[in-house]
Structures are given as C-alpha cells and as structure tokens.
A and B are shown apart, each in its own frame.
Chain A
C-alpha cells in the first residue's frame, strides 16, 4: 500500500502545471465517478438499503397480513419479545448452538491447518476435500443427514444396532437434534475455518521458526510463543465472523429439526422467518430482526475497525 501511495505522489506532479487545468480535470473526474457509481447507488438504495431501514422500522408497528394497514405500536413488540419465554429461548438457542458450532469449526479447523501446514503429497487434494462441503447446497446436503437419522431406514440407527445398542428416536430428542445440527454445520463449516487458519499459518515467516530451532525451542514452545501470537489478526477475524455467523444459524435448523421437537431447537432467524412467512406478523418479525441486529452490530463495529486496519 505504501508503494502505491508513492506512485500516487509522482503521478500528481505533472498535474500541478496549471491551476485551471487541474480544477477542470478534478471536476471531470468527479462527474465520471458519479456517472459510473450513480446507477449502482440508485439500485442499491432502492433494493438493498431501503429494506434495511424498512426492516428496522416495522418492529415498531402492528402489521399482520400483507395488505393490511400498519398501525404504530411503540415498543410493544419488543416488550413481548423480551417477556415471551419462547422468543428469549430462540436467542439463547442461537447463542449456544452457534457457539458450539463455532467451537468445533475453529478448533478442528485449526488442527487441520496445523497438520496441513507442511510440504506433503496430496496437500491440495486434502485441502479441497475438507472445503468441499462448503460449496454444497444446504437444502440438498441437510437432506442427506436427515436421511441418516430416518428412524427405520436411516444408517445412524443401523450403526447403533450393529454395535448392539437400542435405536434412538432422534427427532424426538432435543439433545440429539442439537447434536445433529452441530454435526451438519461443522461438516459444512470446518473447511472454511481450516483454509483461513492455513492462510494465517503460511503468512508466518519460516525464518522465525528456524531461529527458534537454533535456540532449541520445543514444538509446543513454538506453538505458544510464535504461532499463536502471529495469528492474532486471523484469530480476531475467525472469531468475530464466526460469532456473527453463529448467531444467524438458520438453514440447518429449518431443514434438519424444523425447530423441533416442540420448538426446543428454535433459533432467532428461524423464528423471524416463521413470523413473517408463516404468520405474516411483520411487526414481530421486525422486532426479532432488530434485536439480533443490535447484538450483531456491536460485534460488527469491531470488524469494521479490523477492515480499516486491513486497509492501512
């Protein structure tokens, strides 16, 4: 980045010739920028920015049904949200299921990256296979896992039978539904985390390890004193994006447990989806969405800072 800035300065020199030319050129440049950016921003404002403002607003209305007229509701949707145990439970579920998923992804991904961070045959292939599930469609691959836990023709109960255990009615147990949601989400997410960790590991200068070797450092000492401190940036990135993603866990819940049994695995995004798409209760959907946004915004501001650091 430093280099491009110095190029910048050199480029500015010939422009300084005559004041008038510089001004008109600046004007031209600005007009060109707005000409190129204008249509993009216009579209963005209408189709992407407006729904955000709209979405943060409808939480303050009573709005049930697409064609009905909304009335102002003040904070009543929010008071309902925070006094209804079912809504609070969706927040709690998203938090602990999301954190479970994140924990598995981050730790297993890190272990995989450490194992792959050495010249070895088939490394690219192994890396690809780890990442492969991440490109598959959730709507399709959740169904494979759902088929595994089919009570009669699923492989999961068959395996239990083979090792002499009783079959389990998976979909009637909160514990097992949570487990399968975590298993599926990790199957799909570990690869991404591994690639990020691997990129971080490979950005560490090998000379540091060589110096440590000369000083007689042990393997674990290198991990604690060199690897982990060097990975601070990537750790921040993985944890923050991981946490934000974790809170928004949706598709695995929708397609594997459907919030069941009896709503015990319901999560906030699924609840918002059900509020507006099942019940057409746009007010409650807006309130739920606003609550999760506020939580995420706090964490995202940290990410924004991180992006700014990245740009410098």
Chain B
C-alpha cells in the first residue's frame, strides 16, 4: 500500500469529523422526532436536539401503535412494501433472463437489439415525465377511456399505475451480461450433459452463482422504489394509494406551497420511517453495493 501512514491520527481525525458531518442530520432528525410540533416551535434549537419532556407520539405513529393522526399509515407501509417487492422481483428476473440471453444465446439481431436497449439508457428520464403522464391518463380502454383514450382517467389514480412503469432495468441486463462473460460455460455444459433443460440450467446452476450482481440490482432497485415519491405523487390522488415516500412528499411545501408553517417533527419522523429501512438494508448488504458500484466503473 501507499506510504501514507505517516500521520495515522490526523487521518482518523479527518475521517472522524467527516463521518460526524454525514451522520449529524440523521442524528438531529431522531432527536426532533421526540418532540411535539409545539415544543419544536417554542424551544430554541440546540445542537443536541434531545429535550425533555420526550414525546413518543411521532414514533408511536410510525410503529403503528397509535395512528390516530394518520389513519392511513398502515396502508402507506403496505403499499410501499408491496411496490418495492414487486419491482425487485420483476427487475431481478428480467435482468437475469435478459442478461443470460444476450450473453449466451445466438440469434439474429442480437447486437442491434442490445445496442438499442443501451441507447435508451442515454436518454435522460426527464424526457418520459410528460409523455408517461399523458399515456397513463389516456390509455385506451382503461379506467373509463374509450378506444381513443378519451372520457375517463385511464390508469391515473389506480393501483395499477404504481406497478406498471419502468420494470425493465437495462443497466441490470447489461451488468448480468457483463458478469456472465467471465463465467465459464463449462458449468452450464456439464448441466446440459446431465440432461437438464435450459430453465434448470439457468435457474439452478447459473442463478445462484450470479447472486452478487443480482443482489446489487435487487438492492438498488429496492432502495430506488422505496424512496420513490414521484410516481404515487404525480399519478395518484387518493390517500389510500400513497406509499410512505409519497405520504412524506404530501406533507412538504411542494404540496402545500412555500409559506405555510410545516409540522417539522411530523415530517421528519415520517421521513425517518422511510430512511431507517434503507439504512438497515444497506448495512446488511453493503458489500454487494460496494462491489456492484465498483464493477460498473472499474471494468475497463
């Protein structure tokens, strides 16, 4: 390793201070969660925001012990978890099958299809914002729409819209293909010789060995969808269709305008309900995330 070990204490000091800076906002948020909004507004702020008397109301709401203030709270969790699980399953499956097909099977047009898929990843997501909205609103023969997409509301304000968009992750397909390229064919061939069909080879032999890259795809998708406020916020209106993320977004000034007085402890503690699962998930799977990020960048 490099001879940079001359000042180990300086290094620890710098890294320690930066770690504090990274954690401090979350630490502060936890403290604010123990306040009532009145308490937050009337006591002068302190760098260590834990002030007696502690109020457990926000966290009780978050843990579904007392949801009087937000009766739809259980639904927010259910919708958020259902949506996240749905997207993880489909994204992993599609990335695996797609990556495998592109890596192993020979067929006409393979390279051009793959290139076309990769090209779509160069288009910034902002392009599809407005058209997706139009498409969901005017999807023919859905939600009261006629064949021309008029008369009803299409997929807007329906559960389907939470599960319908962006199930194919091209980068996931790309990463699986890349990882298959360094995977010896001999294993699959021995499987075929033992009489296993293609699906058994794929799912019983290859899938377990591709777990690290698929885990990376699963975690990044999971965090992305769990954190996604945009789709429920834009495409649905009913409170019962909101996820935890969009429920938070509906408490922010984006929904209520800039000049209201926000209920900080309420927003912040609900945001913690959103943040803590991601953080816990990350803590468990961080080695896959680090390896996946690195493999996306270092190969070359």
Contacts and interface: CB of A to CB of B under 8 A. Distances in A.
Interface of A: 1, 3-4, 7-8, 11, 26, 29-30, 32-34, 36-37, 40-41, 43-44, 47-52, 54-56, 58, 66-67, 112, 114-120, 124, 126-133, 135-148, 150, 152-155, 158-159, 171, 187, 191-192, 195-196, 198-200, 203, 206, 209, 213, 219, 222, 233-234, 237-238, 244, 247-248, 250, 254-255, 258, 260, 268-269, 272-273, 275-277, 282, 285-286, 288-290, 292-293, 296-297, 300-301, 303-304, 306-307, 309-311
A115 B275 contact: no
Given A3-B184, A11-B185, A115-B15, 6 more contacts: A128-B286, A133-B22, A141-B25, A153-B45, A255-B254, A290-B127
B101 A36 contact: yes
Contact of B1 (A29, A118, A260): A118
Nearest to A307: B118
A139 B227 contact: yes
Nearest to B253: A258
Contacts of A187: 21-22, 25
A219 B46 contact: no
Interface of B: 1-5, 8, 11-12, 14-15, 18-19, 21-23, 25-26, 28-29, 32, 40-41, 44-47, 49, 94, 97-98, 100-101, 105-108, 110, 113, 117-120, 122-135, 137-138, 150, 164-168, 174, 178, 181-186, 189, 198, 223, 226-227, 229, 234, 245, 248-249, 252-254, 258, 262, 264, 267-268, 270-272, 274-275, 278-279, 281-283, 286, 289-290, 293-294, 297-300
Contact of A130 (B19, B182, B275, B293): B19
Contact of A139 (B100, B118, B252, B278): B252
Contact of B122 (A130, A132, A297, A309): A297
A120 B189 contact: no
B120 A117 contact: no
Contacts of B278: 135-137
Contact of B254 (A191, A238, A254): A254
Contact of B137 (A50, A66, A275, A293): A66
A248 B124 contact: yes
A271 B139 CA distance: 25
Contact of A203 (B28, B248, B298): B298
B108 A276 contact: no
Contacts of A285: 129-130
A144 B227 CA distance: 15
Contacts of B118: 304, 307
Contact of B15 (A126, A234, A247): A126
B26 A144 contact: yes
Contact of B128 (A51, A116, A171): A51
Contacts of A171: 258
Given A118-B5, A144-B25, A276 B248 contact: no
A37 B130 CA distance: 28
A50 B271 CA distance: 34
A141 B28 CA distance: 11
Q: Mostly helix, strand, loop or mixed at chain B's interface?
A: helix
A137 B279 CA distance: 10
B245 to A, nearest CB: 6
A230 B181 CA distance: 24
B279 A52 contact: no
Contact of A47 (B134, B165, B283): B165
Q: Mostly helix, strand, loop or mixed at chain A's interface?
A: helix
In the A-B complex, list the 7 residue pairs whose CB atoms are closest, starting with the nearest. A140-B271, A199-B294, A300-B122, A137-B227, A276-B130, A30-B107, A54-B131
Contact of B19 (A54, A126, A141): A126
A279 to B, nearest CB: 11
Kindly name the residue among B94, B127, B198 whose own CB sees the greatest number of chain A CB atoms within 10 A.
B127
B97 to A, nearest CB: 5
Nearest to A204: B2
16 contacts: A47-B166, A48-B120, A51-B127, A52-B120, A66-B138, A117-B4, A120-B12, A136-B279, A139-B245, A143-B264, A147-B268, A219-B2, A234-B298, A272-B130, A286-B131, A296-B122
Contact of B45 (A158, A192, A199, A260): A158
B113 A41 contact: yes
B150 A286 contact: no
A293 B124 contact: yes
Contacts of A275: 130
A47 B177 CA distance: 23
Contacts of A288: 126
Contact of B23 (A129, A195, A254, A310): A129
A196 B294 CA distance: 6
B225 to A, nearest CB: 11
Given A33-B110, A153-B40, A199-B297, A132 B279 contact: yes
Given A30-B105, A277-B234, A311-B178, A51 B131 contact: yes
Contacts of A301: 122
Contacts of B105: 29-30, 32-33, 36
Nearest to B223: A135
Nearest to A25: B106
A67 to B, nearest CB: 6
Contacts of B25: 133, 141, 144-145, 148, 187
Contact of B182 (A4, A192, A209, A234): A4
Contacts of A130: 18-19, 22
Nearest to A301: B122
Contacts of A131: 282, 286, 289-290
